[in-house]
């Protein structure tokens, strides 16, 4: 846990997730005695001071526009802090899970429930549109279902105010393939109707359990531009088809759609205007530029805008070795064998693996009294799981992690399972690049009050996976160098297992 405070009131507790634009923290507002979420925005490295100052000022302006939105269906922005030469957004803390997570865990949603979600989201979007603000990345991962029953639209980080470019845009197509409206894929900046299309695609996923258009990023983009909208089952089907009409003008106005969604939520038949019911069968309009060029350009932009999208690379290298991407989920605990754990912990009775998971990704621990090994395969906050990361997003995540550790050297540390009941202050050794693990790696250690190293940590990237490996030994029988080497060897063992699995 970091002891860092922002604006002398926001105490950073622990990271909740990270993405291409930075990291989200659990924090405590000590002035109001409440927990909040803090989004740390990471700006590109190597910027001239003047350009960096302009980007910070623009981020503050975008935050001001978002802060004007007051709606129960939009995550509230409490404060903006500029410290350590970058902006930090202080937001309300939501507890629950995303619509995407709910569908993956439980399958398609009941029609009435999905319709209620759609009505509340469209009402929230209408509030944003009334202030000239487009969301531009409505998707299942940005619809949050709170434990208290609220439905909240999150991540206005790439929102666009009419007439303005955004901090994250920089001239590129922003969004998630399969959830980007066709007019935006053609290069149009889009408008409120574009968010309506994206919400329709989100509801399609909610009631079917699968996206309207599948495949690679290029295939999803091509299908959005050329294929008819697939039919969603049940009473919500005609409403979704109307929302996903290919021409923005053919999509019903938001008030009519909200009424139709609420009718389905109440178990009634949706009443849509006859004009829209007649025009929802899709006609592919003639494009003003070659379709292939549009698809290729959009895919290139999506790869660059890795903070807000996922592109799966499914091909393996023909020559063997590391695949271009690990796309099949695997048991993280299987990456270290029982015999290997016993050697690292110097015991003939190695502990059983303890699996777990949090916002950062699946993890596994092997704790015994006074010692332990831990492992986590990590993801950014914009990707559903580590296996959906790409080499590009993994490189960004890896760089962000190193950048963060480079600036945080005073921490609180605890591991109750090995016998540390209370957190203790520790100091980080300098972060250093290491060779012999993955395609890139860095390492550092944690020292207690005596100046002795008790924990060594290695972060490495292999293709599209970012892996954290930690080794702890509280006993003074092991020297600093022994602990360092144990962490590196554990990391190398996990890398060998990944290469074999790939």
Would you place residue 411 in the very low, low, confident or very high pLDDT band (cuts 50, 70, 90)?
Answer: confident
Q: Which of 147, 476, 158, 134 is nearest to 302 (CA)?
A: 158
Burial category of 46 from C-beta neighbours within 10 Å (exposed 0-12, middle 13-18, buried 19 and up): exposed
Mean pLDDT of 139-158: 86
pLDDT in tens, 430-463: 999 999 899 999 999 999 888 899 999 999 999 9
276, pLDDT greater than 60: no
pLDDT in tens, 228-238: 988 999 999 99
Give residue 295's pLDDT: 35
Q: Which residues contact 335 (CB under 8 A, 6 or more apart)?
A: 364, 375, 493, 494, 497, 498
Burial pattern 134-146, b for ≥16 Cβ within 10 A else e, equals bbbbbbbbbbbbe
Catalytic, 137? Answer yes
Residue 35, phi then psi, degrees to nearest 5: -85, 145
Please tell me what DSSP assigns to residue 2. Answer: B
Please tell me what DSSP assigns to residue 430. Answer: P
**Pick the residue with more confidence: 79 or 239?**
239
Mean pLDDT of 307-322: 34
Cα separation, 323 vs 305, in Å, equals 23
490, pLDDT greater than 80: yes
The answer to whether the Cα torsion of 5, 385, 398, 168 is positive or negative is: negative
159, pLDDT greater than 50: no
303, pLDDT greater than 60: no
Provide the annotated binding site: 39
**Pick the residue with more confidence: 336 or 477?**
336
Write down the catalytic residue from 29, 123, 137, 380. 137
Cα separation, 446 vs 456, in Å, equals 6
Provide the annotated binding site for ATP: 39
6, pLDDT greater than 90: yes
Bridge-based pairing of strands 410-413 and 453-462 is unpaired
Please tell me what DSSP assigns to residue 250. Answer: G
**Pick the residue with more confidence: 338 or 173?**
338
Give residue 168's pLDDT: 38
Tell me the DSSP string of 67-113.
HT---TTBPPEEEEEEETTEEEEEEE---EEEHHHHHHHH-SPPHHH
Q: How high is the mean pLDDT of the chain?
A: 82
Percent of the chain with pLDDT over 70: 83
Burial category of 234 from C-beta neighbours within 10 Å (exposed 0-12, middle 13-18, buried 19 and up): middle
């Amino acid at each position: 846990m970091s002891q860092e405070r922002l604006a002398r009131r926001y105490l950073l507790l622990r990271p909740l997730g990270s993405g291409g634009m930075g990291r989200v923290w659990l924090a405590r507002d000590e002035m109001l005695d409440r927990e909040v979420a803090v989004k740390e925005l990471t700006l590109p490295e190597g910027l001239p001071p003047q350009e960096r100052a302009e980007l910070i000022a623009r981020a503050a302006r975008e935050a001001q526009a978002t802060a004007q939105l007051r709606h129960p269906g939009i995550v509230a922005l409490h404060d903006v802090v500029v410290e350590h030469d970058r902006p930090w957004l202080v937001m309300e803390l939501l507890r629950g899970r995303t619509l995407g997570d709910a569908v993956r865990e439980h399958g398609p949603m009941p029609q009435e429930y999905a319709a209620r979600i759609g009505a509340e989201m469209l009402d929230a979007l209408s509030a944003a549109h009334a202030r000239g603000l487009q969301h531009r990345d409505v998707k299942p991962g940005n619809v949050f279902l709170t434990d208290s029953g609220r439905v909240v639209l999150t991540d206005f980080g790439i929102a666009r105010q009419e007439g303005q470019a955004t901090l994250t845009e920089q001239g590129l197509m922003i969004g998630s393939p399969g959830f980007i409206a066709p007019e935006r894929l053609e290069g149009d900046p889009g408008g409120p109707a574009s968010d309506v299309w994206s919400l329709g695609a989100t509801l399609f996923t909610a009631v079917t359990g699968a996206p309207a258009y599948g495949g690679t990023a290029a295939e999803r983009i091509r299908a959005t531009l050329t294929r008819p909208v697939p039919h969603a089952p049940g009473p919500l089907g005609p409403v979704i088809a109307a929302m996903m009409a290919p021409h923005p003008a053919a999509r019903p106005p938001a008030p009519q759609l909200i009424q139709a969604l609420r009718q389905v939520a109440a178990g009634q038949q949706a009443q849509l205007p006859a004009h829209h019911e007649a025009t929802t069968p899709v006609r592919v309009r003639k494009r003003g530029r070659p379709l292939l060029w549009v698809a290729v350009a959009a895919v290139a932009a999506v790869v660059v805008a890795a903070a807000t999208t996922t592109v799966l690379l499914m091909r393996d290298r023909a020559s063997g070795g590391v695949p271009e991407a690990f796309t099949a989920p695997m048991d993280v605990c299987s990456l270290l064998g029982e015999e290997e754990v016993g050697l690292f912990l110097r015991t003939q009775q190695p502990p059983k693996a303890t699996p777990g998971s949090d916002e950062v990704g699946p993890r596994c621990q092997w704790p015994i009294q006074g010692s332990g090994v831990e492992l986590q395969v990590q993801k950014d906050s914009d990707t559903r799981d580590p296996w959906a990361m790409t080499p590009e997003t993994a490189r960004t995540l890896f760089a962000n992690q190193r950048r963060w550790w480079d600036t945080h050297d005073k921490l609180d540390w605890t591991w109750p399972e090995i016998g540390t009941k209370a957190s203790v202050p520790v100091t980080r050794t300098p972060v250093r690049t290491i060779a012999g693990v993955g395609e890139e790696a860095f390492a550092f250690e944690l020292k207690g009050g005596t100046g002795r190293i008790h924990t060594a940590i290695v972060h490495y990237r292999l293709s599209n996976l970012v892996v954290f490996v930690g080794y702890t030994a509280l006993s003074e029988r092991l020297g600093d160098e022994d602990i360092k080497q144990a962490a590196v060897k554990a990391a190398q063992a996990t890398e060998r297992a990944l290469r074999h699995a790939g």
